[in-house]
A and B are shown apart, each in its own frame.
Chain A
Amino acid sequence: MTDQTEALPRGVSRHPFVDQLAKAFRTNKLTWVGAVIFVLIVLVAIAAPLLSPHDPLQQNILHRLKGPGPEFWLGTDAYGRDILSRLLYGARVSLIIGVAAIGSAMVIGSAIGVVAGYYGGKVDLVIMQAMDVLLAFPALILGLIVVAMLGPSMENLIIAISLTAIPPFARIARAPTIVVKERDYIEACRALGYGDLRIMTLHVLPNVLSEILVMGSLWLATAIRVEASLSFIGLGVKPPTASWGGMIREGFENILDNIWLSIFPSLAILLVVFSLNLLGDGLRDAIDPRTRSDA
């Protein structure tokens, strides 16, 4: 019977997910821009101790509120601390909080969404109503409430931001789950006697994962923004630790003396958010259901 079937395509079999990624970078050059900028920022954050020309916490009253110059490239703040060094260390704070918050929101949110979508009915109704209640609060307000209740610290910021991001991930995981669970291969799984947990993790989740990851890259930008906003109103990591939002606020207090204090951290936030949005948009276009080949 072998001779009756046509030949299979040659070459190595690539995972469809790798194909989607490749397509995102091939069809949209801006995806490259976003990815390259973001990877650079991550590398810079990791290498902050090596790259920083000064100690970010070292105060020096003689050098306070200097503009950009040869010794302090981006100038100094009201305590004479080097802005560039603080920016580099601040990137660590922003990224750690963003990645940890979105990472946990992604895991918890998609688990909730897949369970709700897979079981449907009353389970779905109860879970999604709870999510809608959370979703009704703007991210910043909810974060504000949580941090105000728990007190400002890095861990509490992560919890607060993660909490605001769980409902959108639950929503984004639930919708494709409802589509996927109607497919015959899920029915085949049930006919083969697989348990629900196996079906959800091995057969539903991989097929909704790309949607979740796209959301992840876009929400990482949001999380970094929210972190900066909370830091700006004083609910972020405690001083003297450098964080971008905190730096903007400190700069704001001296804005008439040195406008650069607020401008540089603002630009840093802008750059991260911009790169993540480019990356996320590119990925989203690549997995658009209308152009998906495996739908």
Chain B
Amino acid sequence: MKLHEYQAKELLARYGVPVPKGRVANTPDEAEAIAKELGSAVVVKAQAHTGGRGKGGGVKLAATPAEAKQAASEIIGMRLVTHQTGPQGLPVASVLVEEQLSIARELYLSVTIDNAAGMPIVIASAAGGMDIEQVAEESPEQIHRQAVHPTTGFMPFQARTLCFATGLDGDLTRPATALMTALVKAFEENDGSLVEINPLAVTTDGRLLAADAKFSIDDNADFRHQDLMAMRDTSQEDEREVEAHAAGIQNYVKLEGNIGCLVNGAGLAMATMDAIKFEGGQPANFLDIGTANSADAVVGALKIIGSDPDVKAVLVNIFGGLARTDIIAEGVVAAIREGFVTQPTVVRLAGTNVAEGLRILDESKLDLVRADGFAEAARKAVEAAG
């Protein structure tokens, strides 16, 4: 789950990470009031789960409270389109109103998990305010890393190493060390998958501040962060994905094509998409039904697939292990009988209880296209989608 910038900053501030003065506003009047309260020139920033907000017109400077109100009225209610959002953009319901900073230097700082090392890793760079992947590609020597060992935690010498490597020396070393330590603590205690400060600003008056902040909580740890889950903003996510999530289907991703897919297992689901493309088609979604051993779960999933206006054909590809193909077959039959799926449907079943699964399909007398192997299933689905 992703947090908005204002939520991330509130969370980080609780751990002692210095952030600019400011608050979130849901209306232009609130934005004006906050600007008045701050008593300085402000920046008004659209709250949406995307980078590149400035280029998309989602960040405006305001010298006076009246200007802040005007800026907020332009931003709140817009659909923010950036290079990350696609042409439909993301809705903006609030703005963060913050003191304008007089920035002398911009750095980069993040914590994520290094999967190969099996440890969190702190990444710092003197090249802040830029796309870090581009920096990593063009000048990898500018990227500095320190792994966080679970026994010792993040050690002060590691913070100092990053400080000296990025020019956070002199009076800045002490606050920067404290900031990095706080950042790692926030990451660990909240099961972060990524926390990123870009830019980390050094102001002309020598302050060190998180000028921007991103915080993503690992989805696997949702269960122990109910407080953070309350911050979830589903308006920032795909409607169908939210619906799938509410129906208990965690692994649904909306895609661009017209073949709806219901598959068990993430690998098989990806390979099914690959097979569809190999046969010249395009998948409308990724959906891993997992080991959901209830016909209801299958009906729920097919309801989401069937109601997608992009879907012209449905491909059910199941290789039962823990999942039982007979239960999947019951679900497929029920979903079609109840009218949730009206598109041509190709079914390929293999594995656990497959004889029983196929018998259920046969006895339903429904007009299903049956496929034996993987490639055949993909080919028939592509044909059916036209």
**A and B associate in one complex:** no
